[in-house]
Amino acid sequence: MKAARPVGIKAVAAYVPAGRQDLSAELARYGVSLDFLREKTGCLTLARKLPEQDTSDLAVEALRALESGHAGVLRNAGLLIVVTQNGDNAGLPHASALVHGKLELGPDVAAFDISLGCSGWVYGLSIAKAFMEANGIEEGLLVTADPYSKIIDPHDRDTALLFGDAATATWLSANEPVWLPGVFAFGTDGSRAADLQVGEEGTLHMNGRGVLNFSATRVPACIRRTLELNAITMDEVDRVVLHQGSRYICKLIGERIGAAEKTPFLAEDTGNTVSSSIPLILARQACDDDRTIVVAGFGVGLSWAATVLRRVRK
Amino acid sequence: MKAARPVGIKAVAAYVPAGRQDLSAELARYGVSLDFLREKTGCLTLARKLPEQDTSDLAVEALRALESGHAGVLRNAGLLIVVTQNGDNAGLPHASALVHGKLELGPDVAAFDISLGCSGWVYGLSIAKAFMEANGIEEGLLVTADPYSKIIDPHDRDTALLFGDAATATWLSANEPVWLPGVFAFGTDGSRAADLQVGEEGTLHMNGRGVLNFSATRVPACIRRTLELNAITMDEVDRVVLHQGSRYICKLIGERIGAAEKTPFLAEDTGNTVSSSIPLILARQACDDDRTIVVAGFGVGLSWAATVLRRVRK
């Protein structure tokens, strides 16, 4: 029953809602300058779903975007994972079941959600690949959909300027994948879980300084370890695709790993889209000429994960 | 990095809160007879956590119970999974991060939650095993903790008579495991997700007839397929450990697979403990003399999963 061949990434698609909150028009409301948005958060507009769109709807849109470029990909999938911490119906049932129903998929599909925040896509990549290879599933779907607008207090400057809504769909396949993941590094510091949590009133609280300190130390160390585990140097890496926490944190991590010029920030128009931020960059074809990428996710938990993606075909 | 040896189950521990709701003292309130409780639901008392205990607290208790019999098991774990759809803090952060913090585990632990209901332990077993083998993690922890008392409306007869609170901790190891899982079968019918869901007011709604019909058809078929996939017959199976949905459903499935006498119902004093129901039976040493067990979980999603567990040492 073991899949004969390794599972890798075949394609990535994304859904970014058309709606935008234009922060540059709300500077006085938040008591910030345009320079602060440009240099610190890096986000000038935040993608916003419609009020009537729920998490599973965003996931379905991302999967439809994937299907539109790759007919049959949904029907052939034997695995459907949704990474989210903000499912419909307070998370019961899991969003993957709702997506399964909305897309009228067949009964022989393994479906579950993974609850992780900004490290979720990297973790999910390993979970999906391992599960598919172990269970002989040749085609699978890894979806991210964690619309923080559901849990943001618009009066809370710590969070209201950062997060945007989006969803992505990653097609995983044992049949001629384009990118193969290497060895993964994972970590958790639950002693700092309170740095990013939902409070009793149902909105997100963030200790910005705590998250920044965590990101600036754990993530460079995790990336260095990932390079070691995969026996490569930063010279051999074409691009470092970080979770797009903020422009400032991406710049800082890029400098600390000696790869500032390879470490883009590409969330100016969307905001930090949580577990969708890394696959969103892949979906936007920002890495089309690259052969070796480091991906690193970090956030809620606190949690982090990284791996190397190697291109094995065009 | 591949683990040289297959990962299996080394031990299972459980935490059942001491509190009980005694349904036999509330027959008039719910308009049911003692015979109904005895023959249909099968649950005379329901385990109830203290109001101040949250999901991560139950998980910690189950892990401490595991540690008390197997010193060092927590410290050595490289993976911590919590299966839940009712985490602390509305599920953000994931319960596994909170548990990681409360137990002061080290930073090199991969931790995430799986969002599944009554099929969760069986799915989780495959997810954990595959993840550990793929990432070279030799010791891991699979926790179930889904206290439905957080979401039950005590006036709703469809749900108030069924569900109990508990948590379990399964020690997974590549080092001399006791039980090795065979081939798994998984399935999903998201078109019926509304049969078990949380409504806008935050409580669980169940279409009892829908869930019963689903369980009576999908689960026997899934078990038959699992036997086929593992190339064994029911004669070779010592016990069928079903999710303890109700006495009636366990009896019905047992009859439909021709194994009524091998299919126990052991939730009289706890109630249906969701994803904890199957490992709770293993933790209670109900299978200590068995060599071959079928395990089958089914519920929220709707979702189902089964596999065969083979004893490889005492």
pLDDT in tens, A133-156: 999 999 999 999 999 999 999 999
The answer to whether the CB of A133 falls within 8 A of the CB of A55 is no
Run of H or E including A99: helix A95-102
With 70 as the cut, is the pLDDT of residue B196 above it?
A: yes
Q: Could you tell me the maximum CA-CA distance found in chain A, to the nearest angstrom?
A: 61
The answer to whether the CB of A188 falls within 8 A of the CB of B110 is yes
Radius of gyration from C-alpha coordinates of chain B: 18
With 90 as the cut, is the pLDDT of residue B173 above it?
A: yes
pLDDT in tens, A180-221: 999 999 999 999 999 999 999 999 999 999 999 999 999 999
> Which letter, b or e, does each residue of B40-57 get, where b requires 16 or more Cβ atoms within 10 Å of its Cβ?
bbbbbbbbbbeeebbbbb
Structure confidence at residue A313 (pLDDT): 87
Run of H or E including B309: strand B303-311
Among residues of chain A, what percentage have pLDDT more than 70?
Answer: 99
Could you give the residue ranges of the DSSP H alpha helices within chain B?
27-30, 34-36, 55-69, 95-102, 120-135, 157-160, 208-229, 247-256, 277-283
Determine contact: B101 vs chain A, CB below 8 A. yes
Which of A3, A14, A276, A1 is closest to A129 using CA atoms? A3
With 80 as the cut, is the pLDDT of residue A1 above it?
A: no
Structure confidence at residue B4 (pLDDT): 60
The answer to whether the CB of B30 falls within 8 A of the CB of B23 is yes
Find the distance separating the first CA and the last CA of chain B, reported in whole Å.
29
Q: In the numeric block, which tokens belong to residue B279?
A: 């490992």
Question: Between chains, do A190 and B135 touch, taking CB under 8 Å as contact?
Answer: no
With 60 as the cut, is the pLDDT of residue B262 above it?
A: yes
Interface residue of A84, A94, A201 to substitute, partner B, most B CBs within 10 Å: A94
The shortest CB-CB distance from A190 to any of B97, B116, B126 is to B97
The shortest CB-CB distance from A99 to any of B94, B123, B190 is to B190
The model's pTM is: 0.97
- Give the count of beta carbons closer than 10 Å to the beta carbon of residue B209: 10
Residue B253 distance to chain A (closest CA, Å)? 19
Q: State the complex-level ipTM.
A: 0.97
CA dist list (Å): A55 to A142, A147, B194:
14, 7, 16
Residue B267: phi and psi, rounded to 5, are -120, 20
Q: In the numeric block, which tokens belong to residue B118?
A: 């009554």
Instruction: Tell me the mean pLDDT in the region B274-294.
Output: 94
Instruction: Give CA–CA dist B264/B273, Å, rounded.
Output: 15
Name the band, by pLDDT with cuts 50, 70 and 90, for residue A286. Answer: confident
Give the side-chain half-sphere CA count within 13 A for B46: 26
Name the band, by pLDDT with cuts 50, 70 and 90, for residue B263. Answer: very high
Structure confidence at residue B3 (pLDDT): 44
Residue A130 distance to chain B (closest CA, Å)? 5
Determine contact: B190 vs chain A, CB below 8 A. yes
Structure confidence at residue A4 (pLDDT): 60
Instruction: Tell me the mean pLDDT in the region B212-216.
Output: 96
Instruction: Give CA–CA dist A314/A291, Å, rounded.
Output: 9
Question: Between chains, do B101 and A191 touch, taking CB under 8 Å as contact?
Answer: yes
Average pLDDT in chain A: 96
Structure confidence at residue B1 (pLDDT): 45
Residue entry with tokens 């460079």 = A220
Among residues of chain A, what percentage have pLDDT more than 90?
Answer: 96
Which of B217, B182, B143, B199 is closest to B306 using CA atoms? B182
Instruction: Tell me the mean pLDDT in the region B296-311.
Output: 98
Residues in chain B with CB shorter than 8 Å from the CB of A191 are 100-101, 104
The answer to whether the CB of B241 falls within 8 A of the CB of B295 is yes
With 50 as the cut, is the pLDDT of residue B312 above it?
A: yes
Q: In the numeric block, which tokens belong to residue B263?
A: 């299919």
Structure confidence at residue A3 (pLDDT): 45
The shortest CB-CB distance from A115 to any of B100, B112, B199 is to B112
Residues in chain B with CB shorter than 8 Å from the CB of A146 are none
